[in-house]
Structure 1
Amino acid sequence: MSDQVSIRRGDPTDRLAVVRLFDAAMLDTEFDRLSRQLTGTDGAVLIATRGETPVGAIALDYSPASDEKRVAVDDDTDPVGITAIAVQRRRRDRGIGRTLIEAAANHVTPRPLTARFDKEVQPFYDACGFEIGSRDDRYWGIRWPEPTASTETT
């Protein structure tokens, strides 16, 4: 059976499904921040679905860059932070996480994506095109937007 998924933007009616995905991955979800992300007030949640069933989610924070996020950004474009990403355990290693990262990158272009994560998931972020460095006891990565092809001719 195929693990073909669709990506859609989440809304407040998706709260329970998103919380279940993040809880199953043992991720902390701040109630107020997740509410802002689901309503689009200060972020977004993108959901991977198989049929109608949510099988993964990524939460994005649009708030202005903190000093932590600003370190890697050289211009006036604030990055968008990934606050959580999770895929159902039985659906992992099938490209769903990478699909969520790609969808998030496309969603926030031209802004870069950032993430803080533990060493165990560094290979995932590396494979998704993040530039990675260590910070304190965790890792931090940034994924720059793909350059747009020029349509000018000479």
Structure 2
Amino acid sequence: MIREARGDEIEAVLRVLEGALLEVDPAEVREAIGRGDVLVAREEGHVRGALVLDGNHVEAIAVTRPHRATGIGSALIERAAERGPLSAGFRPAVRPFYESLGFEIECVEGSEGDETRCRGRLAGQDS
């Protein structure tokens, strides 16, 4: 089940995000939960995936390791896209995930040791 996160789920959301080695600010995640900008995927009473939005921009998305490749991440993106045009910034390693969902993607090589970053917008959605 995909739904907005509740305030009492902050620790579970942070565990999922940090378990995917995403750098997140707990205070910002707490504020996003308060705004209704964090979605969770719950299964068997546990948070299995989380998505953090800033407006319609995906700030972070993660699924617990044992539940990856089961459609949870796709379901989180689909639910977030119901809110309007969706964009995301991400590492090239997760480009196939976003491509599989129909994102139009552009990657820019970093300069002077900066890592390559990609950004995408969900195809078929206006700016």
Give deviations 1:15-68, integer Å, cap 9, x for gaps: 00000000100001122321221101xx61000011221100100112xxxxxx
Query: Which residue number corresponds to residue 50 of structure 1?
Result: 43
Choose 1 or 2 for highest CA Rg.
1
Structure 2 length as normaliser, TM-score? Answer: 0.88
Q: Which amino acid aligns with 2:13?
A: V
1:7/1:46 contact within 8 Å kept: yes
Q: Structure 1 unaligned segments of length 5 or more: list them.
A: 1-5, 63-79, 148-154
Structure 2 CA distance for partners of 1:121 and 1:22, relative to 1, 3 Å: same
Aligned residues: 120
2:86/2:125 contact within 8 Å kept: no
Q: Separation in 2 of the partners of 1:101 and 1:60?
A: 10
Partner of residue 52 from structure 2, selected from 39, 55, 59: 59
Q: Structure 2 unaligned segments of length 5 or more: list them.
A: 111-115
**3-state SS of 1:47 partner:** strand
Partner of residue 19 from structure 2, selected from 20, 24, 28: 24
The answer to whether the aligner puts 1:91 opposite 2:86 as a matched pair is: no
- Percent identical among aligned pairs is 36
Query: Which residue number corresponds to residue 117 of structure 1?
Result: 90
Q: Which amino acid aligns with 1:124?
A: F
Q: Separation in 1 of the partners of 2:117 and 2:47?
A: 29
Segments of 4+ in structure 1 off by > 2 A?
144-147
Structure 1 length as normaliser, TM-score? Answer: 0.73
